[in-house]
């Protein structure tokens, strides 16, 4: 099983706090798949985007959660949004990922 961590400076915890119980359950289900499968998770649950950035895909509400792998055990949940903010969210996730890489 993989360890899932939240990148606290991204605001994802605040995003999660604003979801309804049903939305939160749907997101939690996808995060659990990620926790269990790690880098083996594929479509329709996960999609590789670019340069080590991945998209966790919650289909019922259309949410997307962006993540990367750190080492061989830890996954960082970088940021999230829905289909309407997808392009902006991917750019934000890439900036955060670049910052994480610079920090080492």
Q: What would the pLDDT profile of 41-91 be if each residue is shown by its tens digit?
A: 999 999 999 989 999 999 999 999 999 998 878 888 889 999 999 999 999
Q: Give me the pLDDT at residue 1, please.
A: 87
Q: Give the model's pLDDT for residue 25.
A: 98
Domain span at residue 77 reads 3-103
CATH at residue 86: 3.30.2310.20
95 upstream amide cis, omega within 30 of 0: no
Cβ neighbours, 10 Å, residue 56: 21
pLDDT for 104 beyond 80: no
Query: Which tens digit of pLDDT belongs to each residue from 4-51?
Result: 998 888 888 899 999 999 999 999 999 999 999 999 999 999 999 998
Q: Work out how many domains the chain is built from and give that number.
A: 1
On the 0-12 / 13-18 / 19+ scale of CB atoms within 10 A, 43 is: exposed
- What pLDDT score does 56 carry? 97
Strands 74-82 and 63-70: antiparallel
| Neighbour tally for 1: CB within 10 Å | 9
């Amino acid at each position: 099983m993989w360890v899932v961590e939240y990148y606290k400076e991204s605001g994802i915890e605040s995003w999660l706090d604003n979801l309804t119980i049903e939305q939160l359950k749907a997101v939690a289900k996808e995060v659990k798949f990620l926790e269990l499968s790690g880098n083996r998770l594929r479509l329709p649950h996960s999609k590789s985007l670019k340069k080590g950035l991945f998209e966790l895909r919650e289909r019922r509400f259309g949410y997307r959660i962006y993540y990367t792998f750190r080492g061989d055990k830890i996954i960082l949940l970088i940021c999230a949004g829905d289909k309407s903010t997808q392009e902006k969210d991917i750019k934000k996730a890439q900036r955060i990922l670049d910052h994480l890489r610079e920090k080492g």
